Amino acid sequence: MSQETIYLKDVLKQMATLDSKGKAPVFSIAVRTYNQFSKTGGRMLRLEKAKMLMAEENPHANTVQALRTKPKKRSKIKKDPQHWKNYTRNIRDMSNPHAHPIKIKIRYIIEFNNKKVIY
């Protein structure tokens, strides 16, 4: 029995596309871990409900209340993660609401929505 396959470029496109409500889609993913500084990793990380961290559309952006309030100032300047250059993405485990974002290397994605990822 052969498993369905999907290309990595299609995986990245599906992860980055907003749904009809302006939210990032939820997906399942299996990826290998790796720490380039300590040269450790290789364990399989499976997330049944994950979501890519990205700017989502605010559904209340056109309301009178939203127009009356000033946007909050950002307290600190964050370093640009350069995801395209480093082949990384930030995802969040949706099954654990208190989980921190997870940075994954896109080359180490094994499965996406129960489909094997090919390059």
What is the pLDDT tens value at each position of the chain, 119 positions in all? 468 999 999 999 998 888 887 788 899 999 998 777 777 777 899 999 999 887 665 666 666 666 666 666 666 667 777 777 778 888 999 888 888 888 899 999 999 999 999 98
Report yes or no on 23 lying in a domain: yes
Report yes or no on 92 lying in a domain: yes
Report yes or no on 64 lying in a domain: no
Q: How many domains in the chain?
A: 1
Report yes or no on 62 lying in a domain: no
Report yes or no on 87 lying in a domain: yes
Exposure class string for 78-115: b at 16+ Cβ within 10 A, else e: eeeeeeeeeeebebbbeeeeeeeebebbbebbebbeee
Report yes or no on 71 lying in a domain: no
Report yes or no on 94 lying in a domain: yes
Q: Which domain holds residue 49?
A: 5-55+78-118
Exposure class string for 32-70: b at 16+ Cβ within 10 A, else e: eeeeeeeeeeeeebebeebbbeeeeeeeeeeeeeeeeee
Report yes or no on 84 lying in a domain: yes
pLDDT score of 1: 46
Q: Give 32's Cβ-side CA count (13 Å radius).
A: 10
pTM of the model: 0.74
